Amino acid sequence: MTGSAAIIGGGVIGGGWAARFLLNGWDVRVFDPDPEAERKIGEVLDNARRALPGLSDAPLPGEGRLSFHDDVADAVAGADWIQESVPERLEVKHATFAAIQAACGEAAIIGSSTSGFKPSDLQQGAARPGQIVVTHPFNPVYLLPLIELVTTDANRPEMIETARTTLKALGLFPLHVRKEIDAHIADRFLEAVWREALWLVRDGIATTEEIDEAIRMGFGLRWAQMGLFETYRVAGGEAGMRHFMAQFGPCLSSPWTRLMDVPEFTDELVDLITEQSDAQSGAHSIRDLERIRDTNLVGMMRALKQQDWGAGAVLNAHDATLRTGGALAARIDDLERIDRPIPTLARAVPLDWTDYNGHMTESRYLEAFACATDRFMELIGCDSAYISDPEGGSYFTAETHIRHLSEVHAGTRIRIETQLLLGQGRKLHLFHRMSAGDTLLATGEHFLLHVSLATRRPAPPSAAIAAALARLTEAQADLPWPEGAGAAIRRPA
């Protein structure tokens, strides 16, 4: 699902929205009066191109077209989705919505990135109140999946469902806040923690660094994968949540918090926090910190993908959507042509696939080629159903040879095409080519044997697999022997 998105306000959040839409195949039209907007968004996009594609194990759509416009009317003309990310002043937002609605289509969805205003506040005085919803993201918008979708009775159910569907198609998790409230849901938690942190610094109990360590070394990790209530349920042990609440409920009356008592925002407090923060993080530029953050987030979220848990489950669902109707076929019968090397992998190199040199780690070349081999096996019918059948089998790799021909970096969109060199009896001989654009990056040569999973010994494949291999062998018989096939590391003279 792609279309045209207008981004009104190109700051940190607006730039993140632009990246999320653009890298998911949408055309993006930006309006921001800041003369530096194009540079700033370009830098955000550089980081997003490095990080976002690596979350997906399926190929993202081709990148959309990005354009910058001198007025709101030009930016929103023909847009399917309009995302407002202007400063948090209600009069500025009302003026912006008036300019947007004077020029946009009535079917366009107008989402606001506001972190505090209720949608009813935003809809006041609007020409079409039902066109406006809150779609509050979290930074970086191009990586974190949560979007708080806050609506009112003025928003039609069909419009709300379209908004949910659109956000999901972007790989996001729209949390529908059915009853509007100031600051929505997530920011109310953040504000509570922020207020406590200000007191801890002001009273000399902890520095900014010590508070950050308390979060990221402890409950921050728990919250990242299990949230608040489920974390406390586990803390209750076998007796569960009821036991936890009975055990720790009395603490609610203890003077552990000053949530209703906010420290005065004096110049002295601001200076103290600023000095501590500079000492803590000043060695890194903002762009450095963004890249460190992105690398950590991608690593954590990809770990969650392996467990199909939390944000990882959202990513897996998005991958499944990307694969549907994608470029990789399910069977050789679905391929238009089999008389040339077959596409078996298309993806971006994730951040956690790189080493200390910034190159793709050697083991990941093998992983990529192994994924291509698995796809080839599926094409010929050696899929999960065949492997799980009591009478089934699988191909086991007996020998591998990889040639590294060019550097590969994080974010590089690689593709692998596979040529069948031998597919007869128990033997399967494949040659993979890994490329980016017109550049050949690496080759992988793999010799496999079909094995009965009942006896764990070499055995002929099923008749259907043998027939599929025979078709491919005949179709690719005239292909030239690939350069590098059969090569080996020569013994030094």
Domain boundaries in the chain? 4-184, 189-283, 329-475
Mean pLDDT, residues 299-311: 90
Lowest mean pLDDT of 123-137, 283-297, 386-400, name the range.
Answer: 283-297
pLDDT for 326 beyond 60? no
Rounded Cα distance, 313 and 296, in Å: 18
pLDDT for 476 beyond 80? yes
Q: Which residue has the higher pLDDT, 172 or 355?
A: 172
CATH among 2.60.120.10, 3.10.129.10, 3.40.640.10, 3.40.50.620 for 329-475: 3.10.129.10
Q: What pTM value is reported for the model?
A: 0.83
Q: Residue 405 is encoded by which pair of tokens?
A: 């021909």
Owner of token pair 């912006």: 96
Rounded Cα distance, 91 and 455, in Å: 75
Give which of 80, 163, 32, 24 is closest to 13, Cα–Cα: 32
Band of residue 328 on the pLDDT scale cut at 50, 70, 90:
low
Rounded Cα distance, 399 and 169, in Å: 41
Number of CB atoms found within 10 A of residue 68's CB: 16
CB-based burial label for 417 (10 Å; 0-12, 13-18, 19+): middle
Mean pLDDT, residues 410-417: 93
pLDDT of amino acid 226 = 81
Rounded Cα distance, 145 and 356, in Å: 28
Q: How many helices and strands in the chain, by DSSP H and E?
A: 17, 14
Lowest mean pLDDT of 26-35, 99-108, 220-229, name the range.
Answer: 220-229
pLDDT for 460 beyond 70? yes
**Which of 141-155, 232-246, 285-299 has the highest average model confidence (pLDDT)?**
141-155
Q: Residue 258 is encoded by which pair of tokens?
A: 């000053």
The distance from CA 492 to its chain's CA centroid, rounded to whole angstroms, is: 46
Give which of 437, 332, 414 is closest to 367, Cα–Cα: 414
Mean pLDDT, residues 321-339: 76
Mean pLDDT, residues 108-126: 97
pLDDT of amino acid 332 = 82
Residue type, 210: E
pLDDT tens figures, 173-211: 999 998 999 999 999 989 999 999 999 999 999 999 999
Mean pLDDT, residues 380-398: 93
pLDDT of amino acid 225 = 83
Rounded Cα distance, 77 and 403, in Å: 50
Band of residue 78 on the pLDDT scale cut at 50, 70, 90:
very high
Band of residue 17 on the pLDDT scale cut at 50, 70, 90:
very high
Lowest mean pLDDT of 206-210, 244-248, 467-471, name the range.
Answer: 244-248
What residue numbers does the annotated binding site for NAD(+) cover?
9-14
pLDDT of amino acid 356 = 85
Rounded Cα distance, 230 and 79, in Å: 40
Contact criterion met (CB below 8 Å) for 112 and 135: yes
Owner of token pair 């291999």: 469
Rounded Cα distance, 444 and 80, in Å: 44
Q: What is the DSSP string of 85-124?
A: ---S-HHHHHHHHHHHHTTS-TT-EEEE--SS--HHHHHT
Rounded Cα distance, 365 and 386, in Å: 27
pLDDT for 103 beyond 70? yes
Partners of residue 448 on adjacent β-strands? 397, 428
pLDDT of amino acid 223 = 87
Band of residue 25 on the pLDDT scale cut at 50, 70, 90:
very high
CB-based burial label for 478 (10 Å; 0-12, 13-18, 19+): exposed
What residue numbers does the annotated binding site cover?
9-14
Decide: helix, strand or coil at residue 274: helix
**Which of 285-294, 351-360, 430-439 has the highest average model confidence (pLDDT)?**
430-439
Mean pLDDT, residues 30-53: 95
CB-based burial label for 341 (10 Å; 0-12, 13-18, 19+): middle
Mean pLDDT, residues 135-140: 96
Backbone φ/ψ region at 308: left (φ over 0), alpha (ψ -120 to 50), beta: left
pLDDT of amino acid 241 = 78
The alpha-carbon radius of gyration of the chain (Å, integer) is 27
Q: What is the DSSP string of 237-249?
A: GGGHHHHHHHHHG
pLDDT of amino acid 336 = 84
Contact criterion met (CB below 8 Å) for 468 and 420: no
Number of CB atoms found within 10 A of residue 192's CB: 12
pLDDT for 325 beyond 60? no
Mean pLDDT, residues 65-94: 97
Tell me the CATH architecture of domain 4-184. 3-Layer(aba) Sandwich (3.40)
Rounded Cα distance, 397 and 399, in Å: 6
CB-based burial label for 486 (10 Å; 0-12, 13-18, 19+): exposed
Name the average pLDDT for the chain. Answer: 92
Superfamily of domain 189-283: N-(1-d-carboxylethyl)-l-norvaline Dehydrogenase; domain 2 (1.10.1040.10)
pLDDT of amino acid 252 = 67
Residues 6+ apart with CB under 8 A from 392: 385, 386, 453, 462
Is cis: bond before 341, omega within 30 of 0?
A: no
